A and B are shown apart, each in its own frame.
Chain A
């Protein structure tokens, strides 16, 4: 009986405490009651319990959690996961005479989102390779969704857009990865990732901060196994070199690599240019060039409290 006319908005009878209409009701699920917190009046009863129907006693992470019906919901990214599908049968009756399964329609599961789901899988794979945390992956997924819905980069390979989104997400989270690092985990070339990166920034009308030498120090130094002192010294050297404008026009990665080289050569843990070049993705001639630029002022660049294993005048001169 549609007693409420369609003219007014659907006024579902809101349960409220008669004495305190503004109070938010507390739900007691065990008894199925809605209780007013001000006066304790039980306002609604026989509320339907949405908890699980049975209790599970399995150990920590069993393969299937019977309390869940379906995958964890990802509402932000999939546009409402409310579809269901019929799975393959398990008994003998589900196969017909030739051995084919009787119900065959497993296709067309949200075809419009299929490419997006594929891309999310790819993003997760790429991020796992370089151990990126969940927040970066989520940000990447969000960026990809925005770009995908906009359709301005529709012609580009999804993998290229995914890699570029990963790069942008790392930058936005304040932990930039070099293009070469992203290339290492993606099948797309640096050129294509760079192109997609610029296109995405224009499409989403965002911008990213400029990279600095300090962003990469901790990663490069720990990959090389350098102690904290050397890392701090290298950070200081690189920052000072940029402040004194000794390396105009050089990529911050190259300056960082040269600073690490100088710091490591002055300490007990000496690393060769080739090793540093491998970790940073910089050619060793590039490190040599940047090193030549900072070498003349080496004495000014070191932090004041640095313990030299090799004094400044004995630093290698290339």
Chain B
């Protein structure tokens, strides 16, 4: 799986990375979390070993560190053509599971609205949206008796008259899970994909320890929420005038402008203070892509006073 390392790093392109602080494991749109992470479905075991899970995470972090070192020597991360970042019009690669997914061939440029400039290095915002919440679902594969779970598990609440699921919370990672009697579970509150998966496994382990034959099937991240700050005030009235078909700004209903970007399909809440909330993503790359798309637009509507 370490095919990334075999490809010599791409040299000779003016690196916008220079603008960003080097030397730290960079979470950036072009070097996604774990840049060496190709989607590795083989390792998605259904066993509930938490230890395995943590080991896997550590492994990935090590790979990250390796990649970071490598990247310090050359701008492009191996296995990833910098074109993917600079042109930024390649929608194809960023909408696959991970933006770092290796494509040895340059993917064809797909037209995207709103327009992103293809000029390298001049339009990178240098701001990375931070993930705030991840919602994921998993199927435990067996029917559950919610009453037993609620009575025997710690930190579980169950009020069948109000809601037909057990609400369980764990402290590390700080998350909440809704466990339904069909065996399906929703896990919310994690700040990263791996944490969400780890938390879901922990919940499944709790259910398993209570005596149910729990499995870990079809773990899927359903929604990711990120937020960031562009650090300047924004003229929302101007933005709603020019981007009428995407924006909805009703100060009576909500103080922020609701921008529904079509590609990638992300909803952004843009506030006068310059704070932006991005939601509706299935993968991290969509959030980054959406922010890179909106940043030049927002710069155009900066308040001048």
State whether B253 touches A252 (Cβ < 8 A).
no
Query: A248–B303 Cα gap in the complex (Å)?
Result: 10
B188 to A: closest C-beta gap in Å? 23
Q: Which of A197, A251, A253 contacts B255 (CB 8 A)?
A: A251
Q: Which of B233, B237, B252, B271 contacts A179 (CB 8 A)?
A: B252
A178 interface contact, C-beta 8 A: yes
Q: Which of A207, A211, A253 contacts B244 (CB 8 A)?
A: A207
> Of all chain B residues, which has the CB nearest A202?
B248
State whether B237 touches A249 (Cβ < 8 A).
no
How many residues does chain A have at the interface if contact means C-beta atoms less than 8 Å apart?
17
> Of all chain A residues, which has the CB nearest B249?
A210
Most A CB contacts (10 A, CB to CB) among B240, B252, B253, B272 go to: B252
Residues of A within 8 A of B244 (CB): 207
- The residues of B with any CB-CB pair to A shorter than 8 Å are 233, 237, 240-241, 244, 248-253, 255, 271-273, 303, 305
> Of all chain A residues, which has the CB nearest B236?
A249
Query: A179–B251 Cα gap in the complex (Å)?
Result: 11
State whether A211 touches B252 (Cβ < 8 A).
yes
State whether A249 touches B250 (Cβ < 8 A).
no
State whether B272 touches A249 (Cβ < 8 A).
yes
State whether B272 touches A251 (Cβ < 8 A).
no
Q: Which of B233, B251, B272 contacts A211 (CB 8 A)?
A: B251
Q: List 25 A-B contacts (CB under 8 A).
A: A179-B252, A179-B253, A194-B250, A194-B252, A194-B253, A198-B248, A198-B250, A201-B248, A210-B240, A210-B249, A211-B251, A244-B305, A248-B233, A248-B272, A248-B273, A248-B303, A249-B255, A249-B272, A250-B251, A251-B251, A251-B252, A251-B255, A252-B251, A253-B251, A253-B252
A245 interface contact, C-beta 8 A: yes
Query: A181–B271 Cα gap in the complex (Å)?
Result: 26
Query: What total of A-B pairs shows CB separation below 8 Å?
Result: 35
Query: A179–B252 Cα gap in the complex (Å)?
Result: 7
Residues of B within 8 A of A198 (CB): 248, 250
A72 to B: closest C-beta gap in Å? 36
A255 to B: closest C-beta gap in Å? 10
The residues in A between 233 and 267 inclusive whose CB is less than 8 angstroms from any CB of B are 244-245, 248-253
Query: A194–B252 Cα gap in the complex (Å)?
Result: 9
Query: A201–B240 Cα gap in the complex (Å)?
Result: 14
> Of all chain A residues, which has the CB nearest B247?
A207
- Beyond A198-B248, A248-B233, A248-B303, 12 additional pairs, beta carbon < 8 A: A179-B253, A194-B250, A198-B250, A201-B248, A210-B237, A210-B241, A210-B249, A211-B251, A249-B255, A249-B271, A252-B251, A253-B251
A257 to B: closest C-beta gap in Å? 13
B194 to A: closest C-beta gap in Å? 36
Query: A210–B249 Cα gap in the complex (Å)?
Result: 8
Query: A197–B271 Cα gap in the complex (Å)?
Result: 21
B214 to A: closest C-beta gap in Å? 38
Query: A61–B203 Cα gap in the complex (Å)?
Result: 77
Residues of A within 8 A of B272 (CB): 248-249
Most B CB contacts (10 A, CB to CB) among A178, A179, A245, A253 go to: A245
B150 to A: closest C-beta gap in Å? 32
A259 to B: closest C-beta gap in Å? 15
A250 to B: closest C-beta gap in Å? 8
Query: A178–B273 Cα gap in the complex (Å)?
Result: 25
Query: A245–B234 Cα gap in the complex (Å)?
Result: 11
Residues of B within 8 A of A211 (CB): 251-252
Residues of B within 8 A of A253 (CB): 251-252
Residues of A within 8 A of B237 (CB): 210
> Of all chain B residues, which has the CB nearest A253?
B252
Residues of A within 8 A of B250 (CB): 194, 197-198
A293 to B: closest C-beta gap in Å? 13
State whether B252 touches A178 (Cβ < 8 A).
yes
Query: A179–B249 Cα gap in the complex (Å)?
Result: 14
Residues of A within 8 A of B273 (CB): 248-249
Residues of A within 8 A of B251 (CB): 211, 250-253
Residues of A within 8 A of B253 (CB): 179, 194
Query: A244–B303 Cα gap in the complex (Å)?
Result: 11
> Of all chain A residues, which has the CB nearest B244?
A207
A32 to B: closest C-beta gap in Å? 57
A287 to B: closest C-beta gap in Å? 15
Query: A194–B250 Cα gap in the complex (Å)?
Result: 9
Q: Which of A197, A207, A245 contacts B303 (CB 8 A)?
A: A245
Most A CB contacts (10 A, CB to CB) among B233, B248, B250 go to: B250
Residues of B within 8 A of A201 (CB): 248
Query: A178–B253 Cα gap in the complex (Å)?
Result: 10
Query: A310–B117 Cα gap in the complex (Å)?
Result: 56
